[in-house]
Amino acid sequence: MGIVYNKGGGNMYKAIVVDDEKWIVEGIKAGVNWGKYGFEVIGQADNGLDALQLIKTLHPDLVLTDIKMPEMNGLELIKNGRVASPETLFVVLSGHAEFAYAQRALNYGTFGYCLKPFEIEEIHSMLARVAESLEEKLKASSPSFSVDMYEAICSGNTVRMNQLLVDYEMPLHHKSQITPIVVQGADLVSASQDVKQLSFFMNHRRQGYLVRNEHKEAFLHKWSLAHPSGSFSTGVGYPISDVAELEASLEAASLAAYGIFTTGKTGIYRATHQTSGPINETIKQINYALDHKDRIQFVEILESSRDLFHNLTFTIKDAYLIYTAAMYLFFREGNQMNSRFFEGYEQMYTHYGNVDVMIDEMIKETHGHFTEEVSAYVVKVAHKKVKEIVFHLHENFTQEITIQGLASKFYLSPNYLCQLFKKEVGETIVEYVSRLRIEYACKLLKETDYTIQQVGEKCGFQDYFYFTRIFKRYNKITPTQYRVTK
């Protein structure tokens, strides 16, 4: 049958490992220091159906599962396993090729995932976080605290949700709405207990609250008074009168709570209706820029997205999509970088702190992908300072560049700068920048549908007629003629 039982004992957390490749299961069992984090492996399976039976029988605290398996895949196992054992946490073992599936697994309430081939340290780090989450649940002692509500919400168990609301004297009907509120990063034990509520841990840094809609503002006010400062933010969902709407409203509140990430500021953030149009267009542009190795456009897209994050058009969900889309393309092409895939929003938030740091790091980390052409120029330059200037020009040639500005930046006199650059490169700075701009203009004319004026502006020419004159000087034909012939 492919099922192996082990004897459990003591107060250890129970774990099950599921993978159709037995050598992976045995490697994880033998190589991971389970006891250090309070776990023991009590069972294993090599397909989803057998694993589901184990879950129903043993009710483990943790299941590590592969995605692609016979009989029942990992996503189906997670979905059915949550119904059979609502308190069980799931961690996905996924290869890079299955990354899209791993993202879908997050929507099923998965605690996280480890990408294959993984290091034992990665699984140790995951176990530490799982153990911390399980310990937080045990610590909950408030009479308004429910250890079952979040599991019921994640598994979509509306019957259980309704029963819990009745048990905590917060039944739902058309005249009695509740609003989900999520607090990110504050002291999760203390809350405004004099306002009727039902609370639950979401992870070690996030706590959810359900409050009567008419008491929502009082709850938020009392919370703000109790926590006048600190690195936390609060997300407010929309009021609901049907438990079928609870999961969506809680997710909206959860995303809003990450306003501290997208704006860099603490505070209360209200959930807003999100449309997929802007993020879909941004991802499309990023894919295009990377496919065409167009660093100028790539940086421009990331820079323009800052405002969309700051004004809350984009949420941390969009940041996650932008980051993972870019990183996936780099990994797919075999690029080796220091960046990594994150298991979810919380890990991204913990790693970067705010979206501006994320964008700055992305621009820095992806630099090597675009520098092949730059390197060809720089290799001819012996002078260290001139090499730095050449790199700077390639990074910024679409912006306004002045001799005085360059001289100030690189601590040279304007006259010496011009003489040194001409000697080392063979062109004046003006000629070099103009050539970079015209080369980029040719690229845009061939690969985009921008108007001639738009192409000129994107290349750093603010005057249409000056752009066409310089273009013709280098190419002997006008931009319009060039587009037709190419």
Residues 470-480 have pLDDT tens digits of 999 889 999 99
pLDDT of residue 416: 93
pLDDT of residue 13: 87
Per-residue pLDDT averaged across 399-404, rounded?
Answer: 89
Q: How far apart are CA 457 and CA 441, in angstroms?
A: 10
DSSP letters, 358-370, are: HHHHHHHHTGGGG
What percent of the chain is modeled with pLDDT above 90?
A: 28
pLDDT-derived band at 339 (thresholds 50, 70, 90) equals low
Name the token pair of 282. 């941004």
pLDDT of residue 1: 40
What length is written for the chain? 486
Q: What is the pTM of this model?
A: 0.55
Checking if the pLDDT of 363 tops 60, the result is: yes
pLDDT of residue 178: 94
Q: What pLDDT digit, counting tens, does each position of 236-265 carry?
A: 999 999 999 999 999 999 999 999 999 988
What residues does each domain of the chain span? 4-139, 149-262, 277-370, 372-485
In three-state secondary structure terms, 179 is: strand
pLDDT-derived band at 105 (thresholds 50, 70, 90) equals low
pLDDT-derived band at 9 (thresholds 50, 70, 90) equals very low
Q: What pLDDT digit, counting tens, does each position of 128-161 carry?
A: 988 888 877 665 444 577 778 988 998 889 999 9
**Residue 317, CA distances (Å) to 90, 106, 255, 401, 460 in order:** 21, 12, 7, 36, 33
pLDDT-derived band at 10 (thresholds 50, 70, 90) equals very low
Tell me yes or no: is domain 372-485 CATH 1.10.10.60: yes
Checking if the pLDDT of 187 tops 60, the result is: no
Is-contact 75 148, C-beta < 8 A? Answer: no
Residue 81 identity: G
Checking if the pLDDT of 485 tops 90, the result is: no
Per-residue pLDDT averaged across 320-338, rounded?
Answer: 73
Residue 127 identity: L
Helix, strand, coil percent values for the chain (each to nearest 5): 55, 15, 30
Query: Would you tell me how many other CB atoms lie within 10 Å of the CB of residue 255?
Result: 22
pLDDT of residue 24: 85
C-alpha closest to that of 270 among 337, 217, 332, 205: 217
Name the token pair of 283. 């991802």
The CATH topology of domain 4-139 is: Rossmann fold (3.40.50)
Is-contact 89 133, C-beta < 8 A? Answer: yes
pLDDT of residue 139: 54
Residues forming a β-bridge with 304: none
Name the token pair of 469. 């004159």
> What's the angle, vertex CA 71, arms to CA 69 and CA 72, rounded to 5?
65
Q: How high does pLDDT run on average in the chain?
A: 82
Q: How far apart are CA 428 and CA 106, in angstroms?
A: 54
Query: Would you tell me how many other CB atoms lie within 10 Å of the CB of residue 379?
Result: 9
Q: What pLDDT digit, counting tens, does each position of 344-354 carry?
A: 888 888 888 89
Is-contact 358 348, C-beta < 8 A? Answer: yes
